[in-house]
Structure 1
Amino acid sequence: METITACQNVCVDFWWVGPVTEWLRNIALIAGVVIGWRQLEAWRREKVAVKRAELGEELVAVASELTDKIASIRSPIGYGPPDGEEDDGTFDFRRRLREIGALDTDFEKLRHLQVRSKAFFGDANLSDAIDSFFEVRARLVVTLGGRIRMIRGQATEYGRALTDRQSDRMEQYENIIWKGQVDEDPIDCVMNPALSQIENTMIPHIRLEATR
């Protein structure tokens, strides 16, 4: 009869220890990978949230500044030409055109922010709101140019009364050029909702990051 030693007996009774240890090692490895992946995803989400908040702050700031600057350009308070400079009646309108031209850098920044916002948000309403600022600028440039041409045209027809069509056109020009000329300001009716859309979209992201 073959004798089984104590060592052999232990090996027989605990044959499962090796496989279980290997299984636990594999589980630990898989768990480590899963935890690492989740941490990486959390880090990525946090980075995206930070970038969205930074983009939101910048976009709200630029849009707000442009709104104020355009309101200032449209102020009914006018200025005459410097001493010694002749004025054919167009100086104040030409001055406002120059001031709009001086906003080119601001508008370039706004366009760049629009491109970034499409990548981070993909919000069509937000993009449309930003486009509204460019539409306002184009409308003011065209209107100021039209008013200047009208003044110079009148100078060649001195003493001749405006036609009804010319009077209507001049009224339309001035409603656009002068802020507050009419209750439903045609520029404010575009810019104010656009700014509100930008703020309503961006501020929740800014506040979320601020509370972290």
Structure 2
Amino acid sequence: MLEVITLLGKTIAVISACWAIVSGVGAWKREFIGKRRIELAEETLAAFFEIKDAIAFIRSPFASVGEGESRVVGDREKPEETELLNRGHIVFERYEKKREVFIKFETLKYKFMATYGEDSEAIFKDTNKTVNSIFSSARLLATQYWQRQGRVQMSDDEFKKHLEGMQKHEDVFWDTWEDDDVIRKQLQSIQNRLDAVVASTFEEPMPTYKLLTKKLW
């Protein structure tokens, strides 16, 4: 009987030791993965905040002397045309100054997708669409709307349509610093989706996780 009890005790000790190893490795693995997810989430959030600041800089309606003049001037451009084209070119110059911010965010895309799923790619795609919409409006304003303003004779209906189109693109081109600013609203919507995707990463561990990693002796 004593031998049976002794053998049973050794068996329990072995099982306990195995459980300790398994639960310890599992806990370490979960902690390591959790830490990596948190680091990735924080890095992506920080990169997106930098994107928002960079876009605010790009869209600032205040221009310094000489901004936009890096553009190659066409041989047949008139001075007034050059002035308007240079004005539109300002956003491209400013983007170049902040290029690394956008590259940094883009380099996180595939790692983020691998962690949070393929659907999360939409966050990065929509951010790029927002940036590209600024460039598109800049081109249209500089090459069409501003060039026509006060220089091309239009009917009342044509002029109304012209003003509406110009206003629409200027709302994209220039930052109004208002809550209803079209680009700021788009960026806030993207940020809300990003926050929702990473929210679970910052939550407390599940009770079941605590149970599975709890020592039994």
Identity %: 17
Task: Choose which of 81, 102, 110 in structure 2 pairs with 1:115.
Answer: 110
Letter paired with 2:151: G
Task: Choose which of 152, 159, 163 in structure 2 pairs with 1:160.
Answer: 152
How many pairs are equivalent? 190
Aligned twin of 2:91: 96
State the TM-score, normalizing by the size of structure 1: 0.72
Alpha-carbon distance in structure 2 between the residues aligned to 1:181 and 1:55: 30
Letter paired with 1:144: A
Tell me how large the CA RMSD over aligned residues is.
3.3
Aligned pairs for 1:1-212 within 5 A: 16-81=1-66, 87-122=82-117, 124=119, 127-150=121-144, 154=148, 159-162=151-154, 163-164=158-159, 165-180=161-176, 184-199=180-195, 201-202=197-198, 205=201
- Once the two structures are overlaid, the 10-residue window that deviates more, 73-82 or 131-140, is 73-82
Aligned twin of 1:6: none
Q: Which runs of 5+ in 2 are unaligned?
A: 71-78, 206-217
- Once the two structures are overlaid, the 10-residue window that deviates more, 54-63 or 100-109, is 100-109
Structure 1 residue 39, shift from structure 2 partner: 0.8
Q: Which runs of 5+ in 1 are unaligned?
A: 1-15
Structure 1 residue 205, shift from structure 2 partner: 4.2
* Deviations, residues 82-124 of structure 1 (Å, cap 9, x unaligned): 7x99643221220211222444432232123232223333384
Alpha-carbon distance in structure 1 between the residues aligned to 2:196 and 2:153: 49
Q: Does the CA contact (< 8 Å) of 1:175 and 1:181 recur in 2?
A: no
Alpha-carbon distance in structure 2 between the residues aligned to 1:105 and 1:34: 48
Q: Does the CA contact (< 8 Å) of 1:57 and 1:206 recur in 2?
A: no
- Once the two structures are overlaid, the 10-residue window that deviates more, 144-153 or 87-96, is 144-153
Cα 1:152–1:117 change in 2 (3 A) is same
Structure 1 residue 204, shift from structure 2 partner: 6.9
State the TM-score, normalizing by the size of structure 2: 0.71
Structure 1 residue 42, shift from structure 2 partner: 0.9
Letter paired with 1:192: Q
Alpha-carbon distance in structure 1 between the residues aligned to 2:152 and 2:192: 46
Letter paired with 1:36: I
Q: Does the CA contact (< 8 Å) of 1:90 and 1:151 recur in 2?
A: no
